[in-house]
Structure 1
Amino acid sequence: MKRNNIKLLSQVLISAFVLSSCSDSFLEDKKNYDNVNTGIYDYFSGANARVSDVYSWSLPDPNSDANWKYNCTGNADDQSKSTEEYSGFGAFVNPQAEMTVMGGTKVQDFFHNQANNIQASVWGRIRNINDVIRGITEGALSQEEKDKLLGQVYFFRAWCYYNLVKWYGGVPIVKDVLEPVESSVVPRSSAKACIEFICEDLDKSAEMLSAATINGGWSSSEDWGRVTSGTALALKGRVLLLWASPMFNRANDVTRWNTAYEEIKKSIPVLNACGYGLYQTSNNVNGSDFAALFSTVKSSEAVFATLFNTVQSGDGQKNNNWERGIRPKNSTGSGKEASAMMVDMFPMADGKKPALTNTYNKLEGSEYTYDENYPFMNRDPRFYRTFAFPGVRWAYSGDPTQANSDNPSYDSGKNYELWNYVWYTNLDDQGNAESGNSYGADNLLSNKKGLYVRKRSDDLDVNTSSLYNWAATDNNGGFAYSAAPYLEIRYAEVLLNYAEAACGSGHMSEAVEQLQKIRARAGYTAANNYGLQTDLAADQAACMSAVLYERQIELAYEGKRFDDLRRWMLFDGGISQANGAPSTWTLTGWGGNTCTYLGFKPLNGQRRENMEFRVQDSYGLGGTTKVSDPLVVAGVTRPAAVDYRKELTTQLEQLKEFYASKLVRKLKKGDARDQNHVDLTMQFYPKYYFLGFAQGAQNSNKDLLQTIGWEDYNNAGANGTFDPLAE
């Protein structure tokens, strides 16, 4: 690849690296220490500063939508909005805007980004990492010190390459610091070579970090959050699972599944030795352990995490905005709206899918009858920790009346109840799914959501020592300064990776064992086989379907679903082909259609709607103010909000009675309709399984071969010639 688009920044000599005053994280203060004088590598403090700089360039960021620098972390971005989790056509499923290289809707660029700016370039980040590897390797530190530092840097080079390969297949492999000259050109390598390169880096990382991390993790609490041998092997497992998946493995070569299975199985003892495991306590009430793992700073679940602090200004500020993003407006948040499709797909209390769900048809339906008018009845314990609906308690610490005197205080948030039912001001809007002219109770008014995403919340009833500093009058809202960690890889995902690889390699009993562990933490018991059907060990297709369903539920709103849908080709089952694709792209494994094999209804042709609960007709219409709530005007007394610290059955029955007499579920348009108000449906084009290079990337490198199925800017728009599946 040409390097003429990367310029060196200033040469800086650093004699020491000063950490943040916060004692629990070395990640809380980040400065720019790239491209330094080589003398810095002769001192551990200086070399460590360069390593910490690599972290600052490379760690995932839940405050950002997915882009060239950051992977998807669960926000309602183009990737998550191309899944069941959110509605509103993301770029990858928009039927009215096919992405192209040279047309009107440009293909998203995860390969290049900006020229002439090393910090805003995908390859600038890799060059920076290679610079650190060279500097430490050639420096005067002891081998023990070098290993401790290099092990971390090799991990991040692998992380960067993983995020390229999952989009493009083969990319240039650059191991050295290339000079910004015309001759510095590296061609695209095969996807297989890239996978091998990533795994080599991760093996190096795991070996180099073993002495420092496999005896319970890093010895110093200041180092908590740094990657470990377990982190490296967990990512290696994810990479090998990608390589075994249908997107890369069209013929279902079982040797790839075997390799993934063997490597992931071997990684489990190492992860345990590094201190990782499922986060579990002796007081798991209604899924409280599942909720608490996201607001526990040093959770055993955090295999690969980004840490944050509550510093409010200056260079040391590193806040997590997720809490502010999911909380309702009347508690000074903004709210994320879950799609009705996702809500309706969640398992019932017996662990089985709702019988009316028209996907995962290899799996048994629940014995509980699912009534969409009461979606909270008899659900999987994780349902209550993933969504928030009218009539549920969601405690926090802060006084929202500081921001708006009409906001309900609920004892400064400590007894907050979400009542987000709505009313309309005219009958035409009330019956119109496209109308957004509804008003929410408790001063939500026009700033309401139908059902809120609650996942990853710092719930005061679960975590009594909030990780946020409340500042309701701040422009950013009361939850702006949160130190809640973001978990990119958590131990539960490792077990799910293990389950999938075990199933793919024919070890279904081991796959089921991993699912049982996940279900046990959620609150299921052996009494009903942890909510799993009994034939999974004997039916590979049903077992794989159960694994993917469990991934969808356990990892909901964590930024993982879109990758799962792509690698399993669940938008169309893999039956369609990109323009110009060779015969080797034909899916011959899994009966030629992954959706049929799994009993999964393809997402193409479907649409996501939303829901809201409005007051029943008998209570009439309302106005645009808080006091015009028809239920308030009628003197209706609400039941106590559902409190997850207590037994749920009676509480939920009481809430159901309130809904039955006061509220009705209303369809709320999710995905777009056309100009004639006709429903549009998702359309994921087959060429999206492997992306093409954007025009800017090709313009910067005339020798960069374009991917098959995409226009080649350097060849007058002809079809690309690079085959991501060729070995």
Structure 2
Amino acid sequence: MKTKIITMVGFGLVSALALTSCSDSFLEDKKSYDKVTGDLYNTYEGAELRIDDIYARNLPSANSGASWRYPSSGTADDQSKSTEEYSGFGAFVNPEIELTTEQNNAPEYFLGSFGSVDANSYGLIRLINDAIEGISGSTLTDEQKDKLLGQAYFFRAWRYYNLVKYYGGVPIITEVLDPASSFSSTRSTTKECIEFICSDLDKAAKMLAASTMNGSGFTGNDYGRVTTGTALALKGRVLLLWASPIFNRSNDRTRWTNAYAQMKEELDSINQCGYHLFSTSSNVNGSDFALQFNQVGRNPEAVFFTLYNTLIGDDLEQNSNWERNVRPSNITGSGIQPSAMLIDMFPMADGKRPATTDTYTKLDASSYAYDREHPFMNRDPRFYRTFAFPGFRWAYSGDDAVLLDEEPNSPVYNNGQDFELWNYGWYTETEKRDNEENGYEYGADNLLSNGKGVYVRKRSDDYDVNSSPLYTFVKNDDGPFARSAQPYIELRYAEVLLNLAEVACGAGDMAYAVDLLKQIRARAGYTAANNYGLQDNLTSDQAACMSAIIYERQIEFAYEGKRFDDMRRWMLYDGGQGKVEGAPSTWTLTGWDGNTCTWLGFKPFNNQQRRDNMEFRVADSFGTGGTTVADDDDPLKKAGVVRCAAVDLRSADLTTQLETLKAWYEDNLVRKDFKGDAWSSNKVKLYVNFRPQYYLLGIPRGPQSNMKSAEQTIGWGDYNNGYAPGTFDPLAE
């Protein structure tokens, strides 16, 4: 009898459970490829296999951009490129291309494709429904059923949440439909969907309580499974979505107060699962903030996450690509370039916004003058853990022999443990140097044409923070950093607190919201000495308090794939002023004084804004450079310039180091901003344009053709009716 294996990768167990000869019968008489007979569910081993298979198909991924299957993970996908984080127009802000059903050019978050249950949202929901039905009707004990069903209900809620946040109401399917190329079901209201998701999460929380509300959640081989706390944390995210302007145009206060009451009461249950802010007794310059992403074993910050491993060429191979993506090319990475906009927006060392930032104007400006030419001066501790500039240490645990085999012209730094980033650049012609359309042609230290002006450092496995790195630096086809077991955290405890702070503020309890903000700021490195960098009126001014929370979210969660959702929730592209053709009067924003941006003091992202990039090129006095790694081709080396000591974030005396680096920049480098977002064919600068119908997306053409009875969203063409205007109202209750 042929052995059958269900492989589960990326989940905490990281195991392959084989049903060998004595248990082959579990999977023998399949009703379809993805639906098994009830006998499978009558043993705990068989039922757990099905749950593990659900994890494998539904866990978030560190290696994917936003799609119907996965949320954004912080990569430069269409969502993140529609925020301040990256330049280069994402699909949602491209002024030259409008997303329409007719053109079928909108990102597809609704369904995927028919033909395989693993290739679309409702196929995955079908598998979960099968597990719920099979386990519920099995002969397992009630205790066994609860542990397994709680996980299944969580993932069904997770799948529906990832539909509702984009589309509003969607068809609710709870039975196991036969596989087909299409199905017929109408869209439920958004309210019905929110209630359904919350009901599933309440069931999950209750069923998992006996297994996980024990001070540590799941441990041992079960570590990585969702818990009562995971379910309630996701529920908090859902309740916050429902209270937010995107679905609450009149600012119905009961949505805020209901969410606040539930989330505040349920925080204790989340804490009882062992979750809290990650911290150590040796936090230096934001090191705790950096270390939280690189924990092996139990991490109290990680509420919902995906585990990875360092295996290569194995059925269970599941590596995270993040470290390889962020590291510079001269040590075998690729590098990620942040936008200059976000760099310039980050808070200063006193926790306040830079005075030069023309947004978040209801928040106090910093007492530190913003040094645009040296943006690393006097910044929030998280700044140094989010970005990497020329002249900073960024150590790794490597092997010089492996590095030189991959990059024979790169300098070596004691097997990476003393690596310094010197990513300044130069031009071969003065015309290119002075043209803002061009970034530098060649970078120092063998970066050459592959350098970035500034690097995203966020979530990097920095050897100076974690001396037991989660990657194995060995030669392989994808580069030495490819074998990384860094977990991907989709929902952190910091988000639990900031979600609660936001609903507290919306409900009018600003004092409690500020207390939660202080907890986040304390972990970042602020103290009571300056009120954690928070201005005094946050407890009395609701708009200022909410603005502070949204700003904090932007900084705390930068490059974690959360900003696009926040900007949509609060309608920060136009303040809710855009009109959708065919929309009823209930779509008009009447809460928040009729304009969320004005109320918050936030500059609308559509208001003549564009994201450009930042670099540090050699000063004009050094002239142009060459095209190779030769010292004479680097203008600074050719002139005999000696580099200053690189900034070492392990040292508590950061200010002196930064002043030294600043002085070196003043003598040798110049900041240059160059084209990030596109120009027109006539070389005219283009600006962000998020159309109002993008807040609530329409069903793409492909899924519509397979779901004949599902109405199209208002503002989008209905494929099934000759592209007539859609009639489904996501705001109708």
Q: Is the TM-score greater than 0.5?
A: yes
Cross-structure match for 2:153: 154
- Residue 624 to residue 531, structure 1, CA distance change in 2 (3 Å): same
- How does the TM-score come out when normalised to structure 2? 0.95
Matched, 1:673 2:679: yes
Cα distance change on mapping 1:417 and 1:202 into 2, 3 Å? same
Listed as ranges, the matches of 1:38-57 within 5 Å are 38-57=38-57
> What CA deviation, in whole Å up to 9, does each residue of 1:348-401 have, x standing for no partner?
000000001000000000000001100000000000000000000000011321
Counterpart in 2 of 1:553?
555
1:413 is matched with 416
Aligned equivalents of 2:181, 2:611: Cα separation in 1:
49
One-letter amino acid of the structure 2 residue matched with residue 395 of structure 1: A
Query: Which amino acid in the other structure matches residue 645 of structure 2?
Result: A
- Correspondences of 1:310-325 after superposition (within 5 Å): 310-325=310-325
* C-alpha distance in 2 between matches for 1:462 and 1:238: 30
Matched, 1:198 2:200: no
Aligned to 2:106: 107
**Aligned amino acid, residue 554 of structure 1:** E
State how far apart, in whole Å, the 2-side matches of 1:450 and 1:129 are.
46
How far apart are 1:527 and its partner, in Å?
0.3
What 5-or-longer segments of structure 1 have no aligned partner? 1-10
Aligned equivalent of 2:427: 424
1:334 aligns with 334
- Please report how far the alpha carbon of residue 182 of structure 1 lies from its aligned counterpart in structure 2 after TM superposition: 9.3
Corresponding residue of 1:601: 603
For the Cα contact (< 8 Å) 2:618–2:669, is it kept in 1? yes
* 1:200-215 mapped onto 2 (5 Å cutoff): 200-215=199-214
For 1:367-516, list aligned pairs within 5 A: 367-398=367-398, 399=400, 400-436=403-439, 438-471=441-474, 473-516=475-518
User: Residue type of the partner of 1:497?
Assistant: N
| 2:584 counterpart of 1:582 | yes
Cα distance, 1:669–1:12 mapped onto 2, change above 3 Å: farther
Which letter does structure 1 place at the counterpart of 2:263?
I
The within-5 A match list for 1:534-683 is: 534-604=536-606, 605-627=608-630, 628-646=633-651, 647-683=653-689
State how far apart, in whole Å, the 2-side matches of 1:109 and 1:219 are.
34
2:713 is the counterpart of 1:707: yes
**Runs (5+) with no aligned partner, structure 2:** 19-26, 28-32
- 1:37 to partner: Cα distance: 2.9
Q: Matches of 1:391 and 1:384 in 2, distance apart?
A: 12
Q: How do residues 302-313 of structure 1 correspond to structure 2 at under 5 angstroms?
A: 302-313=302-313
CA contact (8 A) 2:183 2:706 kept: no
Shift, 1:41, TM fit: 0.5
Cα RMSD for the two superposed structures: 1.8
Which residue of 1 is the match for residue 229 of structure 2?
A: 230
Structure 1 residues 217-256: aligned runs within 5 Å: 217-218=216-217, 220-256=219-255
Q: Shift in Å at residue 18 of structure 1?
A: 8.0
- The separation in 1 between residues aligned to 2:593 and 2:211, in whole angstroms, is 47
Tell me the distance in 2 between the aligned counterparts of 1:36 and 1:632.
68
Taking the aligned partners of 2:201 and 2:467, their CA distance within structure 1 comes to 38
Write the distance in 2 (CA, Å) between the matches of 1:295 and 1:331: 20
Give runs of aligned pairs for residues 15-30 of structure 1, distance below 5 A. 25-27=12-14, 29=16
> Which region of structure 1 is more displaced relative to structure 2, 524-533 or 171-180?
171-180
Contact 2:12 2:225 in 1 (8 A): no
- State how far apart, in whole Å, the 2-side matches of 1:59 and 1:223 are: 15
Q: Which amino acid aligns with 1:313?
A: G
TM-aligned CA distance change 1:219 to 1:180, over 3 Å? closer
Answer with 428-437 or 376-385: which moved more. Answer: 428-437
Rounded Cα–Cα distance in structure 2 between residues aligned with 1:477 and 1:391: 24
Q: C-alpha separation between the residues in 1 aligned to 2:497 and 2:562?
A: 14
Which residue, out of 704, 719, 722, partners 1:716? Answer: 722
- Tell me whether 577-586 or 105-114 shows the greater mean CA deviation: 105-114
Deviations 1:653-709 (A, max 9, x none): 000000001000001111000011111000000000010011111111221100000
Distance 1:138 1:564, change over 3 A: same
Letter of the 2:642 counterpart: T
- How far apart are the structure 2 equivalents of 1:296 and 1:106? 39
Aligned residue for 2:147, secondary structure, equals helix
Counterpart of 1:286?
A: 285
Aligned partners of 2:101, 2:531: CA distance in 1, in Å?
50
- Supply the distance in 1 between the matched residues of 2:343 and 2:574 (Cα, whole angstroms): 22
Secondary structure of 1:48's match?
Answer: helix
Measured against aligned partners, the alpha-carbon deviations of 1:508-562 in whole angstroms (never above 9, x if no partner) come to 0000000000000000000000000011000000000000000000010000000
User: Do 1:30 and 1:52's aligned partners in 2 also have CA atoms closer than 8 Å?
Assistant: no
Deviation of residue 190 (structure 1)? 0.1
SS at match of 2:489: strand
* Equivalent residues of 2:169, 2:187 under 8 A apart: yes
CA drift at 1:107? 1.7
Under a length normalisation based on structure 1, what TM-score does the superposition of the two structures give?
0.96
* d(CA) in 2 for partners of 1:183, 1:654: 65
Measured after TM superposition, the shift of residue 220 of structure 1 is 3.7
Matched residue, 1:6:
none
d(CA) in 2 for partners of 1:557, 1:182: 37
Tell me if structure 1 keeps the 8 A contact 2:439–2:615: no
User: Contact 2:218–2:227 at 8 Å: present in 1 too?
Assistant: no
Partner deviation per Cα, 1:22-80 (whole Å, 9 max, x = no partner)? 9x931455999942232110111111110011001111001011111111010000000
Helix, strand or coil for the counterpart of 2:480? coil
> Corresponding residue for 1:4?
none
Q: Measure, in 2, the Cα distance between the counterparts of 1:218 and 1:316.
A: 25
**C-alpha contact 1:512 1:543 (8 A) present in aligned 2:** yes
Q: How many angstroms apart in 2 are the aligned matches of 1:587 and 1:219?
A: 44
* Distance in 2 of aligned mates of 1:160 and 1:271: 21
Q: Does the CA contact (< 8 Å) of 1:217 and 1:228 recur in 2?
A: no
| Distance in 2, Cα, partners of 1:538 & 1:13 | 66
Task: State the percentage of identical aligned residues.
Answer: 60
CA deviation map 1:566-588 (0-9, x unaligned): 01000000011211110000000
Larger CA deviation: 230-239 vs 34-43: 34-43
Amino acid at match of 1:542: A
Contact 2:574–2:604 (CA under 8 A) maintained in structure 1: yes
Could you say which residue in structure 2 is the equivalent of 1:697? 703
Q: How many corresponding residue pairs? A: 712
Distance (whole Å) between structure 2 residues aligned to residue 720 and residue 701 of structure 1: 14
Taking a change above 3 Å as real, the CA distance of residues 218 and 17 of structure 1, as seen in their structure-2 partners, is farther
Asked if 2 retains the 8 angstrom alpha-carbon contact of 1:348 and 1:366, the reply is yes
Query: Alpha carbons of 1:690 and 1:17: their partners in 2 closer, same or farther (altered >3 Å)?
Result: closer
Task: Write the deviation string for residues 176-196 of structure 1: whole angstroms up to 9, x where unpaired.
Answer: 101246995221000000000
The range that moved more, 267-276 or 336-345, is 267-276
**SS at the partner of 1:489?**
strand
Task: Output the CA distance in 2 between the equivalents of 1:201 and 1:27.
Answer: 26
Structure 2: which amino acid aligns with 1:433? E
Indicate conservation of the 8 Å contact 1:13/1:37, yes or no.
no
- Aligned partners of 1:375, 1:260: CA distance in 2, in Å? 39
- 114-123 vs 486-495, which moves further: 114-123
